[in-house]
Amino acid sequence: MKKCFLILAIGVLSLTVLWAGGKSDTKQSDVVTIEFIQWWEPELPAGSFRAIIDEFEAQNPGIKVKLISGPYSNTRDQIVTGAATGTLSDVVGLDGAWVNDLAKQGAITAMDSLMASTNFDPNQVAAIIKLDGKSYMFPVASFVYPIFINMDHFSAAGIANPPQNRSEFLQAARKLTDPSKNQYGWVLPLSLQTPNGVQNDIMSWVWAAGKSMLKNGRPDLTNSAVIDALKFVETLYKENLISPGTFAKQEQDKVEEFVNGRIGMTISSLAHINMIRERNPNLKFTISALPAADGYTGRRGLPYAAWGIGISEKSTHKAEAWKLVAYLMSPEVNSRLVSIAHAFPGNVNAKPDFVESDELYAKAFEIFKSGYLANEFTGLPVAEELMRMFDEEIQLMLEGKQTAEQAAAAAQKKWEAVF
Protein backbone atom coordinates (compact mmCIF):
# COMPACT_ATOMS: atom_id res chain seq x y z
CA MET A 1 0.00 0.00 0.00
CA LYS A 2 2.77 2.39 0.91
CA LYS A 3 4.59 1.55 -2.32
CA CYS A 4 1.47 2.18 -4.39
CA PHE A 5 0.84 5.46 -2.64
CA LEU A 6 4.43 6.55 -3.29
CA ILE A 7 4.16 5.72 -6.99
CA LEU A 8 0.87 7.61 -7.22
CA ALA A 9 2.36 10.64 -5.45
CA ILE A 10 5.37 10.69 -7.76
CA GLY A 11 3.07 10.46 -10.77
CA VAL A 12 0.93 13.35 -9.58
CA LEU A 13 4.03 15.42 -8.82
CA SER A 14 5.48 14.69 -12.25
CA LEU A 15 2.28 15.77 -13.96
CA THR A 16 2.21 18.93 -11.84
CA VAL A 17 5.78 19.80 -12.82
CA LEU A 18 5.08 19.11 -16.48
CA TRP A 19 1.92 21.22 -16.36
CA ALA A 20 3.73 24.07 -14.62
CA GLY A 21 6.60 23.90 -17.08
CA GLY A 22 4.22 23.90 -20.01
CA LYS A 23 2.35 26.86 -18.52
CA SER A 24 5.60 28.79 -18.04
CA ASP A 25 6.69 28.05 -21.60
CA THR A 26 3.36 29.27 -22.94
CA LYS A 27 3.63 32.47 -20.94
CA GLN A 28 7.15 33.06 -22.17
CA SER A 29 6.13 32.45 -25.77
CA ASP A 30 3.41 35.09 -25.41
CA VAL A 31 5.94 37.79 -24.50
CA VAL A 32 6.83 40.14 -27.37
CA THR A 33 10.19 41.93 -27.35
CA ILE A 34 10.37 45.25 -29.16
CA GLU A 35 13.47 47.32 -29.84
CA PHE A 36 13.64 51.06 -29.18
CA ILE A 37 16.57 52.93 -30.70
CA GLN A 38 17.25 56.44 -29.35
CA TRP A 39 19.96 58.78 -28.05
CA TRP A 40 17.96 59.90 -25.01
CA GLU A 41 19.12 57.39 -22.40
CA PRO A 42 22.79 58.58 -22.41
CA GLU A 43 21.64 62.20 -22.02
CA LEU A 44 19.51 61.47 -18.94
CA PRO A 45 20.64 60.63 -15.38
CA ALA A 46 21.90 57.05 -15.19
CA GLY A 47 19.07 54.53 -14.83
CA SER A 48 16.26 57.08 -15.05
CA PHE A 49 15.02 56.20 -18.53
CA ARG A 50 15.31 52.46 -17.91
CA ALA A 51 13.16 52.94 -14.79
CA ILE A 52 10.41 54.52 -16.92
CA ILE A 53 10.61 51.61 -19.37
CA ASP A 54 10.54 49.10 -16.50
CA GLU A 55 7.26 50.61 -15.34
CA PHE A 56 5.86 50.23 -18.85
CA GLU A 57 6.82 46.56 -18.83
CA ALA A 58 5.20 46.09 -15.42
CA GLN A 59 1.95 47.56 -16.77
CA ASN A 60 2.24 45.50 -19.97
CA PRO A 61 3.52 42.06 -18.91
CA GLY A 62 3.31 40.73 -22.45
CA ILE A 63 5.86 43.26 -23.75
CA LYS A 64 9.58 43.59 -23.16
CA VAL A 65 11.56 46.61 -24.39
CA LYS A 66 15.16 46.34 -25.53
CA LEU A 67 16.77 49.79 -25.47
CA ILE A 68 19.37 50.49 -28.13
CA SER A 69 21.10 53.60 -26.87
CA GLY A 70 24.03 55.67 -28.07
CA PRO A 71 25.22 59.21 -28.82
CA TYR A 72 23.10 61.26 -31.23
CA SER A 73 25.48 60.93 -34.21
CA ASN A 74 25.91 57.16 -33.79
CA THR A 75 22.16 56.70 -33.39
CA ARG A 76 21.50 58.65 -36.57
CA ASP A 77 23.96 56.45 -38.49
CA GLN A 78 22.33 53.30 -37.13
CA ILE A 79 18.87 54.55 -38.11
CA VAL A 80 20.02 55.42 -41.63
CA THR A 81 21.53 51.94 -42.00
CA GLY A 82 18.48 50.23 -40.51
CA ALA A 83 16.18 52.16 -42.85
CA ALA A 84 18.23 51.16 -45.89
CA THR A 85 18.40 47.48 -44.93
CA GLY A 86 14.89 47.06 -43.56
CA THR A 87 16.20 46.27 -40.08
CA LEU A 88 15.06 49.39 -38.27
CA SER A 89 14.04 48.97 -34.63
CA ASP A 90 10.32 48.77 -33.84
CA VAL A 91 10.26 52.15 -32.07
CA VAL A 92 12.51 54.90 -33.37
CA GLY A 93 13.84 58.06 -31.74
CA LEU A 94 13.60 60.77 -34.39
CA ASP A 95 15.02 64.16 -35.19
CA GLY A 96 12.46 66.12 -37.18
CA ALA A 97 15.03 66.73 -39.91
CA TRP A 98 15.08 62.99 -40.69
CA VAL A 99 11.33 62.44 -40.96
CA ASN A 100 10.82 63.33 -44.62
CA ASP A 101 13.56 61.07 -45.92
CA LEU A 102 12.62 58.14 -43.67
CA ALA A 103 8.94 58.42 -44.59
CA LYS A 104 9.70 58.55 -48.32
CA GLN A 105 11.89 55.47 -47.96
CA GLY A 106 8.98 53.68 -46.36
CA ALA A 107 11.09 53.19 -43.23
CA ILE A 108 8.66 54.72 -40.71
CA THR A 109 4.91 54.22 -40.59
CA ALA A 110 2.01 56.65 -40.41
CA MET A 111 0.48 56.35 -36.94
CA ASP A 112 -3.03 57.61 -37.70
CA SER A 113 -4.71 54.18 -37.82
CA LEU A 114 -2.94 53.18 -34.60
CA MET A 115 -4.23 56.34 -32.93
CA ALA A 116 -7.76 55.66 -34.12
CA SER A 117 -7.69 52.03 -33.00
CA THR A 118 -7.03 53.06 -29.39
CA ASN A 119 -9.08 56.28 -29.30
CA PHE A 120 -5.88 58.25 -28.74
CA ASP A 121 -6.69 61.99 -28.89
CA PRO A 122 -4.22 63.68 -31.29
CA ASN A 123 -5.16 67.08 -29.85
CA GLN A 124 -3.13 66.27 -26.75
CA VAL A 125 0.09 66.19 -28.82
CA ALA A 126 1.89 69.52 -28.92
CA ALA A 127 3.10 69.30 -32.52
CA ILE A 128 2.50 66.23 -34.70
CA ILE A 129 4.91 66.06 -37.63
CA LYS A 130 2.92 65.21 -40.75
CA LEU A 131 3.66 64.50 -44.40
CA ASP A 132 0.86 64.42 -46.97
CA GLY A 133 -1.60 64.63 -44.09
CA LYS A 134 -0.22 61.53 -42.34
CA SER A 135 1.26 61.55 -38.82
CA TYR A 136 4.82 60.22 -38.62
CA MET A 137 6.39 61.77 -35.52
CA PHE A 138 5.40 62.99 -32.06
CA PRO A 139 7.72 65.28 -30.06
CA VAL A 140 8.17 63.52 -26.72
CA ALA A 141 10.28 66.33 -25.27
CA SER A 142 10.89 69.78 -26.72
CA PHE A 143 13.78 72.14 -26.06
CA VAL A 144 12.70 75.67 -26.98
CA TYR A 145 15.01 78.54 -27.94
CA PRO A 146 14.19 81.85 -26.19
CA ILE A 147 16.36 84.97 -25.96
CA PHE A 148 19.02 84.78 -23.25
CA ILE A 149 19.80 88.17 -21.68
CA ASN A 150 22.87 89.33 -19.74
CA MET A 151 21.26 91.29 -16.90
CA ASP A 152 24.45 93.10 -15.90
CA HIS A 153 24.89 94.38 -19.46
CA PHE A 154 21.28 95.52 -19.54
CA SER A 155 21.62 97.31 -16.20
CA ALA A 156 24.85 99.06 -17.26
CA ALA A 157 23.22 100.18 -20.52
CA GLY A 158 20.14 101.50 -18.70
CA ILE A 159 17.76 99.01 -20.32
CA ALA A 160 14.93 98.20 -17.93
CA ASN A 161 13.04 95.44 -19.76
CA PRO A 162 13.68 92.73 -22.36
CA PRO A 163 12.88 93.84 -25.93
CA GLN A 164 9.39 92.88 -27.08
CA ASN A 165 9.70 93.78 -30.76
CA ARG A 166 12.41 94.23 -33.39
CA SER A 167 12.73 97.99 -32.91
CA GLU A 168 13.35 97.52 -29.18
CA PHE A 169 15.84 94.73 -29.92
CA LEU A 170 17.76 96.97 -32.33
CA GLN A 171 17.84 99.83 -29.81
CA ALA A 172 19.02 97.48 -27.07
CA ALA A 173 21.74 96.02 -29.31
CA ARG A 174 23.04 99.53 -30.02
CA LYS A 175 23.24 100.35 -26.30
CA LEU A 176 24.86 97.04 -25.45
CA THR A 177 27.58 97.19 -28.08
CA ASP A 178 31.02 98.51 -27.11
CA PRO A 179 33.79 97.15 -29.37
CA SER A 180 36.48 98.71 -27.11
CA LYS A 181 35.33 96.24 -24.42
CA ASN A 182 34.89 93.42 -26.92
CA GLN A 183 31.19 93.54 -26.04
CA TYR A 184 28.33 93.19 -28.53
CA GLY A 185 24.55 93.24 -28.54
CA TRP A 186 23.98 89.96 -30.39
CA VAL A 187 25.78 86.92 -31.78
CA LEU A 188 24.97 85.14 -35.04
CA PRO A 189 26.50 81.75 -35.96
CA LEU A 190 26.41 81.10 -39.72
CA SER A 191 29.02 78.40 -40.22
CA LEU A 192 28.40 76.40 -43.39
CA GLN A 193 29.74 73.33 -41.61
CA THR A 194 26.80 73.32 -39.19
CA PRO A 195 24.26 75.69 -40.74
CA ASN A 196 21.54 75.40 -38.07
CA GLY A 197 22.02 79.12 -37.37
CA VAL A 198 19.68 79.65 -40.33
CA GLN A 199 17.02 77.73 -38.42
CA ASN A 200 17.62 79.00 -34.89
CA ASP A 201 18.92 82.53 -35.44
CA ILE A 202 17.45 83.69 -38.77
CA MET A 203 14.12 82.00 -39.45
CA SER A 204 13.14 82.23 -35.80
CA TRP A 205 12.44 85.94 -36.40
CA VAL A 206 9.89 84.95 -39.05
CA TRP A 207 8.17 82.41 -36.78
CA ALA A 208 8.11 84.86 -33.86
CA ALA A 209 5.99 87.11 -36.08
CA GLY A 210 3.53 84.29 -36.70
CA LYS A 211 4.69 83.95 -40.32
CA SER A 212 6.05 81.13 -42.47
CA MET A 213 8.79 80.32 -44.97
CA LEU A 214 6.49 77.79 -46.68
CA LYS A 215 3.26 77.90 -48.63
CA ASN A 216 1.24 74.71 -49.05
CA GLY A 217 4.27 72.76 -47.90
CA ARG A 218 6.60 74.24 -50.53
CA PRO A 219 9.29 76.97 -50.39
CA ASP A 220 8.05 80.54 -50.09
CA LEU A 221 11.24 82.40 -49.24
CA THR A 222 10.42 85.48 -51.29
CA ASN A 223 7.43 86.50 -49.17
CA SER A 224 7.59 89.83 -47.35
CA ALA A 225 7.91 88.28 -43.87
CA VAL A 226 11.12 86.41 -44.77
CA ILE A 227 12.60 89.41 -46.60
CA ASP A 228 11.80 91.75 -43.70
CA ALA A 229 13.57 89.37 -41.30
CA LEU A 230 16.62 89.27 -43.58
CA LYS A 231 16.71 93.06 -43.74
CA PHE A 232 16.48 93.26 -39.97
CA VAL A 233 19.46 90.93 -39.54
CA GLU A 234 21.32 92.84 -42.25
CA THR A 235 20.86 96.09 -40.30
CA LEU A 236 22.28 94.53 -37.14
CA TYR A 237 25.26 93.22 -39.09
CA LYS A 238 26.01 96.45 -40.97
CA GLU A 239 25.90 98.47 -37.75
CA ASN A 240 28.47 96.08 -36.23
CA LEU A 241 26.10 95.13 -33.42
CA ILE A 242 26.91 91.43 -33.93
CA SER A 243 30.13 89.95 -32.55
CA PRO A 244 32.82 89.41 -35.22
CA GLY A 245 33.37 86.09 -36.96
CA THR A 246 29.76 85.31 -37.89
CA PHE A 247 30.60 83.16 -40.92
CA ALA A 248 32.83 80.80 -38.92
CA LYS A 249 30.77 80.54 -35.75
CA GLN A 250 28.78 77.46 -34.71
CA GLU A 251 26.15 77.12 -32.00
CA GLN A 252 28.64 76.20 -29.28
CA ASP A 253 30.59 79.39 -30.06
CA LYS A 254 27.67 81.69 -29.30
CA VAL A 255 27.06 79.88 -26.01
CA GLU A 256 30.73 80.27 -25.14
CA GLU A 257 30.64 84.01 -25.84
CA PHE A 258 27.54 84.44 -23.71
CA VAL A 259 29.11 82.47 -20.83
CA ASN A 260 32.18 84.71 -21.01
CA GLY A 261 30.10 87.90 -20.78
CA ARG A 262 30.84 89.17 -24.29
CA ILE A 263 27.25 89.13 -25.53
CA GLY A 264 24.19 91.01 -24.31
CA MET A 265 21.61 88.81 -26.07
CA THR A 266 21.62 85.44 -27.78
CA ILE A 267 19.05 82.92 -29.01
CA SER A 268 19.76 79.61 -27.32
CA SER A 269 18.30 76.35 -26.07
CA LEU A 270 16.86 75.89 -22.59
CA ALA A 271 19.16 72.89 -22.39
CA HIS A 272 22.02 75.38 -21.92
CA ILE A 273 20.71 76.98 -18.72
CA ASN A 274 22.41 74.58 -16.32
CA MET A 275 25.60 74.55 -18.38
CA ILE A 276 25.80 78.36 -18.28
CA ARG A 277 25.24 78.32 -14.52
CA GLU A 278 27.97 75.76 -14.02
CA ARG A 279 30.46 77.49 -16.32
CA ASN A 280 29.93 80.98 -14.90
CA PRO A 281 28.11 80.97 -11.53
CA ASN A 282 28.51 84.76 -11.28
CA LEU A 283 26.74 85.49 -14.56
CA LYS A 284 23.35 87.10 -13.98
CA PHE A 285 21.05 86.25 -16.85
CA THR A 286 17.40 85.79 -17.66
CA ILE A 287 15.33 84.70 -20.65
CA SER A 288 12.53 86.23 -22.68
CA ALA A 289 10.34 85.36 -25.65
CA LEU A 290 11.83 86.12 -29.04
CA PRO A 291 10.81 89.68 -30.03
CA ALA A 292 7.97 89.88 -32.53
CA ALA A 293 7.77 92.06 -35.62
CA ASP A 294 6.68 95.60 -34.80
CA GLY A 295 2.90 95.77 -34.45
CA TYR A 296 2.37 92.01 -34.18
CA THR A 297 0.31 91.00 -31.14
CA GLY A 298 -0.57 87.38 -31.93
CA ARG A 299 1.00 84.19 -30.57
CA ARG A 300 4.72 83.90 -31.29
CA GLY A 301 6.31 80.87 -32.84
CA LEU A 302 8.99 79.29 -30.67
CA PRO A 303 11.96 77.70 -32.40
CA TYR A 304 12.65 74.30 -30.89
CA ALA A 305 14.47 71.01 -31.15
CA ALA A 306 12.75 67.81 -30.09
CA TRP A 307 13.20 64.22 -29.08
CA GLY A 308 10.78 62.76 -31.59
CA ILE A 309 9.32 59.26 -31.69
CA GLY A 310 7.93 57.08 -34.47
CA ILE A 311 7.37 53.45 -35.44
CA SER A 312 9.14 51.34 -38.07
CA GLU A 313 7.09 50.40 -41.11
CA LYS A 314 8.81 46.99 -41.14
CA SER A 315 7.95 46.25 -37.51
CA THR A 316 5.91 43.07 -37.02
CA HIS A 317 4.83 44.35 -33.61
CA LYS A 318 3.22 47.69 -34.43
CA ALA A 319 0.46 47.31 -31.83
CA GLU A 320 3.01 46.74 -29.07
CA ALA A 321 5.22 49.54 -30.39
CA TRP A 322 2.23 51.89 -30.36
CA LYS A 323 1.51 51.01 -26.73
CA LEU A 324 5.01 52.25 -25.83
CA VAL A 325 4.57 55.45 -27.86
CA ALA A 326 1.19 56.16 -26.26
CA TYR A 327 2.64 55.42 -22.81
CA LEU A 328 5.51 57.91 -23.26
CA MET A 329 3.03 60.50 -24.56
CA SER A 330 0.58 60.10 -21.66
CA PRO A 331 0.32 63.17 -19.38
CA GLU A 332 1.73 61.48 -16.27
CA VAL A 333 4.68 59.72 -17.91
CA ASN A 334 5.46 62.63 -20.20
CA SER A 335 5.54 64.97 -17.19
CA ARG A 336 8.03 62.70 -15.45
CA LEU A 337 10.27 62.27 -18.48
CA VAL A 338 10.50 65.96 -19.37
CA SER A 339 11.09 66.83 -15.72
CA ILE A 340 14.17 64.60 -15.76
CA ALA A 341 15.28 66.01 -19.11
CA HIS A 342 14.54 69.68 -18.20
CA ALA A 343 12.52 69.92 -21.40
CA PHE A 344 8.96 70.83 -22.29
CA PRO A 345 6.24 68.24 -22.77
CA GLY A 346 5.01 66.64 -25.94
CA ASN A 347 1.61 66.27 -24.29
CA VAL A 348 -0.14 69.60 -23.80
CA ASN A 349 -1.65 68.37 -20.54
CA ALA A 350 1.68 67.42 -18.99
CA LYS A 351 3.55 69.75 -16.66
CA PRO A 352 7.21 69.32 -15.69
CA ASP A 353 7.91 69.66 -11.98
CA PHE A 354 10.99 71.86 -12.40
CA VAL A 355 8.84 74.85 -13.43
CA GLU A 356 7.75 75.21 -9.81
CA SER A 357 11.20 75.06 -8.28
CA ASP A 358 13.29 77.13 -10.71
CA GLU A 359 12.49 80.73 -11.61
CA LEU A 360 14.03 80.63 -15.09
CA TYR A 361 12.28 77.42 -16.07
CA ALA A 362 9.02 78.80 -14.69
CA LYS A 363 9.47 81.81 -16.95
CA ALA A 364 10.29 79.53 -19.87
CA PHE A 365 7.13 77.53 -19.25
CA GLU A 366 5.05 80.72 -19.43
CA ILE A 367 6.75 81.58 -22.74
CA PHE A 368 6.02 78.04 -23.93
CA LYS A 369 2.32 78.24 -23.01
CA SER A 370 1.80 81.66 -24.58
CA GLY A 371 3.35 80.73 -27.92
CA TYR A 372 3.46 77.73 -30.22
CA LEU A 373 6.21 75.37 -31.34
CA ALA A 374 7.60 76.41 -34.72
CA ASN A 375 10.35 74.72 -36.70
CA GLU A 376 9.43 74.47 -40.35
CA PHE A 377 12.62 72.61 -41.23
CA THR A 378 11.18 69.62 -39.40
CA GLY A 379 9.86 67.20 -42.00
CA LEU A 380 11.51 68.87 -45.00
CA PRO A 381 13.66 66.88 -47.43
CA VAL A 382 17.43 67.15 -46.76
CA ALA A 383 16.70 69.82 -44.16
CA GLU A 384 20.32 70.50 -43.22
CA GLU A 385 21.28 71.00 -46.86
CA LEU A 386 18.41 73.46 -47.28
CA MET A 387 19.84 75.45 -44.37
CA ARG A 388 23.27 75.41 -45.99
CA MET A 389 21.90 76.65 -49.31
CA PHE A 390 20.15 79.57 -47.62
CA ASP A 391 23.21 80.21 -45.45
CA GLU A 392 25.36 80.75 -48.55
CA GLU A 393 22.98 83.39 -49.87
CA ILE A 394 22.67 85.13 -46.49
CA GLN A 395 26.45 85.37 -46.26
CA LEU A 396 26.57 87.02 -49.69
CA MET A 397 23.88 89.47 -48.55
CA LEU A 398 25.79 90.37 -45.39
CA GLU A 399 28.94 90.88 -47.46
CA GLY A 400 27.03 93.44 -49.53
CA LYS A 401 27.13 91.36 -52.72
CA GLN A 402 23.35 91.08 -53.05
CA THR A 403 20.16 92.46 -51.55
CA ALA A 404 17.80 90.65 -49.19
CA GLU A 405 15.39 90.21 -52.09
CA GLN A 406 18.13 88.67 -54.25
CA ALA A 407 19.27 86.38 -51.45
CA ALA A 408 15.73 85.11 -50.91
CA ALA A 409 15.18 84.60 -54.64
CA ALA A 410 18.47 82.71 -55.06
CA ALA A 411 17.71 80.44 -52.11
CA GLN A 412 14.15 79.93 -53.38
CA LYS A 413 15.49 78.69 -56.70
CA LYS A 414 17.87 76.23 -55.00
CA TRP A 415 15.14 74.95 -52.70
CA GLU A 416 12.65 74.46 -55.54
CA ALA A 417 15.17 72.22 -57.28
CA VAL A 418 15.32 70.02 -54.15
CA PHE A 419 11.56 69.91 -53.69
Within 10 angstroms of residue 417's Cβ, the number of other Cβ atoms is 9
Answer for the pair 192, 391: CB distance below 8 angstroms, yes or no. Answer: yes
**Which phi-psi region, left, alpha or beta, contains residue 270 (left: φ > 0; alpha: ψ -120 to 50)?**
alpha
Residue 102 lies in a domain: yes
Per-residue pLDDT at 413 exceeds 60:
yes
Say whether pLDDT at 351 is over 90: no
In this model, does residue 264 exceed pLDDT 70?
A: yes
Asked, for residue 375, whether it belongs to a domain, the answer is no
Amino acid at residue number 347? N
Distance CA 218, CA 223 (A): 12
Q: Is the pLDDT reported for residue 23 higher than 70?
A: no
d(CA 172, CA 62) in angstroms, rounded, equals 59
Count of other CB atoms within 10 angstroms of residue 351: 18
Reference 275, options 254, 293, 294, 291; nearest CA is: 254
Give the model's confidence band at 269: pLDDT under 50 very low, under 70 low, under 90 confident, else very high. confident
259 and 388 both lie in a single domain: yes
- The answer as to whether 405 is a domain residue is yes
Query: What is the domain range of residue 269?
Result: 147-302+381-418
Question: 288 - beta bridge partners?
Answer: 147
Q: Which carries the bigger pLDDT value, residue 365 or residue 140? A: 140
What span, in angstroms and rounded, lies between the C-alpha atoms of 377 and 356? 32
Q: Which amino acid is at 242?
A: I
Helix (H) or strand (E) holding 149: strand 147-150
How confident is the model at residue 3, as a pLDDT? 45
CA distance 205 to 163: 13
* Segment 243-271 mean pLDDT: 93
**Is 254's pLDDT higher than 90?**
yes
Q: What CA–CA distances, in Å, run from 223 to 213, 393, 405?
A: 8, 16, 9
The pLDDT value given to residue 14 = 42
Instruction: Name which residue leads in pLDDT, 354 or 267.
Output: 267
Q: Is residue 20 part of a domain?
A: no
Task: Please list, in sequence order, all residues whose beta carbon lies within 8 angstroms of the beta carbon of residue 152, skipping any fewer than 6 positions away.
Answer: 261, 283, 284
Q: Distance between CA atoms of 71 and 43, rounded to whole angstroms?
A: 8
Report for 81-85, 275-279, 338-342: range of highest mean pLDDT: 81-85
The C-alpha atoms of residue 51 and residue 121 are separated, in whole angstroms, by 26
Looking at the fold, whether 210 and 252 belong to one and the same domain comes out as: yes
Three-state secondary structure of 87-147: CCCCEEEECHHHHHHHHHCCCECCCHHHHHHCCCCHHHECCCEEECCEEEEEEEEEEECCE
Residues 267 and 394 in one domain: yes
* CATH number of domain containing 227: 3.40.190.10
19, part of any domain:
no
Q: What is the per-residue pLDDT across 44-65, written as a single tens digit (0 to 9) for each?
A: 888 999 999 999 999 999 999 9
- The answer, yes or no, to whether residue 5 has pLDDT greater than 60, is no
Are 190 and 47 within one domain?
A: no
233 contacts 188 by C-beta, under 8 angstroms: yes
> Is 223 found in the same domain as 163?
yes
pLDDT at 82 over 50: yes
DSSP 3-state of 380:
coil
Q: Is the pLDDT of residue 379 over 80?
A: no
Q: Are residues 201 and 336 in the same domain?
A: no
Identify whether 13 is part of a domain.
Answer: no
Residue 12: pLDDT above 50? no
Percent of the chain with pLDDT over 70: 93
**Cα dist from 152 to 157, 159, 165, 279, whole Å:** 9, 10, 21, 17
Give me the pLDDT at residue 341, please.
Answer: 86
Q: How far is CA 88 from the centre of its chain?
A: 21
Q: What is the pLDDT of residue 28?
A: 60
Residue 25 lies in a domain: no
Q: What's the whole-number mean pLDDT along residues 236-249?
A: 97
Evaluate if residue 142 carries a pLDDT over 90.
no
Same domain, 51 and 193: no
DSSP string computed for 229-252: HHHHHHHHHHTT-B-S-GGG--HH
Asked whether the predicted pLDDT for residue 112 surpasses 90, the reply is: yes
pTM (predicted TM-score): 0.74
Same-domain status, 120 and 208: no
Task: Report if residue 8 sits inside a domain.
Answer: no
Residue 15 pLDDT > 80: no
295 and 199 inside one domain:
yes
Question: Do residues 258 and 166 both lie within one domain?
Answer: yes
| Nearest one of 333, 349, 299 to 48, comparing CA atoms | 333
Same domain, 192 and 247: yes
Q: What pLDDT shows up at residue 19?
A: 40
**Sequence-ordered list of residues with C-beta below 8 angstroms from that of 171, at least 6 positions apart, any chain:** 163
First to last CA, the chain: 89
Q: What is the pLDDT of residue 98?
A: 87
**Average pLDDT value for residue range 395-415:** 98
CB-based contacts of 132: which residues, under 8 Å, 6+ apart?
none
Q: How many residues does the chain have?
A: 419
Domain count, the chain: 2
User: In Å, how far from its chain's centre is CA 222?
Assistant: 27
Is 166 found in the same domain as 132? no
